Amino acid sequence: MYGIAMMGFLSALGAFILVWKVNIHLFCKYHWQTDILFAVVVTWLFFGTFSGMAAAAVAGVVFSVFLYVAKLIIDI
């Protein structure tokens, strides 16, 4: 059970670090599009098992929270 949550959290954290390094201002400006694109890509990557889909759902939610907090901090 915790493995699914940890896999989702680490996937979201890794993607958020990459977004931060590329251009966090751009991704925060288009946060809805970024959330949807990330959720679709992670779902496609983890497709095949129930645990993979659960990890993708957790990753989507965690990434959305990370992006929302970053948007509040950057204050766009």
Distance CA 53, CA 47 (A): 6
Q: Please give the average pLDDT of every successive group of 10 residues along the chain, which has 76 residues.
A: 85 92 90 91 90 91 93 82
Tell me the residue type at 3.
G
Instruction: Please report the pLDDT score of residue 12 as a whole number.
Output: 92
Is the pTM higher than 0.75? The answer reads yes
55, 6 contact by CB (below 8 A): no
Q: Pick the closest to residue 4 from 61, 69, 67 (CA basis).
A: 61
Instruction: Please report the pLDDT score of residue 41 as a whole number.
Output: 93
Instruction: Please report the pLDDT score of residue 63 as a whole number.
Output: 94
Instruction: Please report the pLDDT score of residue 1 as a whole number.
Output: 65
Distance CA 65, CA 5 (A): 15
